[in-house]
Amino acid sequence: MQTLSRKADFPGLVTADGAPWHYLDTAATAQKPRAVIDAMARALGEDYATVHRGVYSRSAQMTLGYEAARRRVAEFVGADSENEIVFVRGATEAINLVAMTWGMTQLREGDRIVLSMLEHHSNIVPWQLVAAKTGAVIDVCPLTEDGRIDLGALETLLTSRTKLVSLAHVSNVLGSVLDARRAADLAHSVGAKLLLDGCQSAPRMTLDLPALGCDFYAFSGHKLYGPTGIGVLWAREDLLDAMPPYHGGGAMIESVTFEKSTYAPPPQRFEAGTPMITEAIALHAAIDYVDALGPDRLFAHEAGLAKQLRDELRGLNSVRLFGPEESAGIVSFEMEGVHPHDLGTILDEENVAIRAGHHCAQPLMAHLGVPATARASFGLYSDESDIAALMRGIERTQRIFG
Ligand code: PMP
């Protein structure tokens, strides 16, 4: 299984001295393959011009590239139309967009929004902002003992007042995978919409969003081996059609007078200003790269590494593991008597990069009863050498801390 590893394609995976850098923080952001870096450099260099406005051929060419990226994203997520793909800065912006447009127009006092205990702050705070303005109320779905969103509990939380269920498709802390189809069926059974935070599923799962049954799906390009500064909101066309603009400015209008402006249809309605042209083109290259390897293979590869790491960590008696046995390639743990930040610092000396902290999931940390965890997360370039380096570093940390 580990033959998938493509370290040679990723210039970021070596240290300044040319030694291997064991990057285990892909859930935060993925390293970029040469194909993405080259696509971005070309778009910023010999191909560069604005889109949608220029009458000169370079701009027309760039517009074709930008819209081809939209079609490629649509194909990648199984969308019915590229008009369902809105380019945004990242998942955070995608969720805020839904909250501030759909949420502000659809939610009334006493309506319920269901989130889960394991959500990232990006899927909590926008809903708190909307709840404060509309009088809607947030319900929190608990987790199973092993750290999955408890869909039995979700069922009992739902009422005719529930208008939205918004859940992580894959947890960025525990790696737990949601049964999205079942969550969609449950939400729809009371007439609620389902938003999936796809930050951690887009980089490692084959997606067919209409078949999954969700209504909104948000993800970030930089976790999908693309650049920062671009992400995607997918929503069904009828939902986008009914949503008011998010930002006002150029490119999102049909006509403007001082008396009244009219707005372009989606997706342009939600893309005010000069868009992320080069980022979209580089995201296209990233999707081509990931698709050629096959997202299902990536999932199996990373889940296999996560299982191996869990087994090895279990062999050390001072380690507490969080999350389910079967998970995407993300492993959170705690070493008895060692703060995760100290572990992260010692590992850094061994050229091993892990994440230590609350992972923007403070309610989940409170639920687990810890201020922070250590988290190792795998990507398509990860292999057994990364696990071996991590284990060496952990054993050295154990010796240092006695
Ligand atoms: N949701 C999840 C599950 C995430 O892992 C992240 C990134 N850590 C986000 C939302 C926010 O993504 P971004 O910062 O790229 O907007």
Ligand 1 atom having least distance to the Cα of 119: 3
Return the ligand 1 atom nearest residue 171 CA. 3
Nearest CA to ligand 1 atom 5: 172
Q: Candidates 118, 166, 172: which one to mutate for ligand 1, based on the most atoms within 8 Å of Cβ?
A: 172
The answer for residues whose C-beta is within 8 angstroms of residue 225's C-beta and 6 or more apart is: 30, 31, 32, 33, 36, 203, 286, 289, 290, 379, 380
Element (H, E) at 220: strand 216-220
pLDDT score recorded for residue 4: 77
Mutate to test the pocket of ligand 1, among 25, 95, 116, 122 (most ligand atoms within 8 A of CB): 122
CA of 99 to the centre of ligand 1 (A): 16
Residue with tokens 């918004």: 166
Mean pLDDT in consecutive groups of 10 residues from the start of the chain, 402 residues = 78 96 98 98 97 89 97 98 98 98 98 98 98 98 98 98 98 98 98 98 97 97 98 97 96 96 97 97 98 95 98 93 96 95 96 96 96 97 98 95 84
> Which of ligand 1's atoms lies nearest the C-alpha of 359?
8
Residues annotated as catalytic are: 360
Q: Which of 95, 200, 201, 220 to mutate to test the pocket of ligand 1 (most atoms within 8 A of CB)?
A: 220
Identity at 250, one-letter amino acid code: G
Residue 399 burial (C-beta neighbours within 10 Å; 0-12, 13-18, 19+): exposed
Token pair 């490692």 is found at: 204
**Ligand 1 center–CA 246 separation, angstroms:** 20
Prediction pTM value: 0.97
What pLDDT was estimated at residue 1? 47
Cα–Cα distance measured from residue 71 to residue 83, given in angstroms and rounded to the nearest whole number: 9
For the chain, first and last CA: distance in Å? 36
Instruction: Identify the pLDDT of residue 53.
Output: 76
Pick from 375, 401, 32, 392: which is nearest to 203 by CA?
32
pLDDT at 402: 79
Give CA–CA dist 84/239, Å, rounded: 9
User: So what's the pLDDT on residue 2?
Assistant: 47
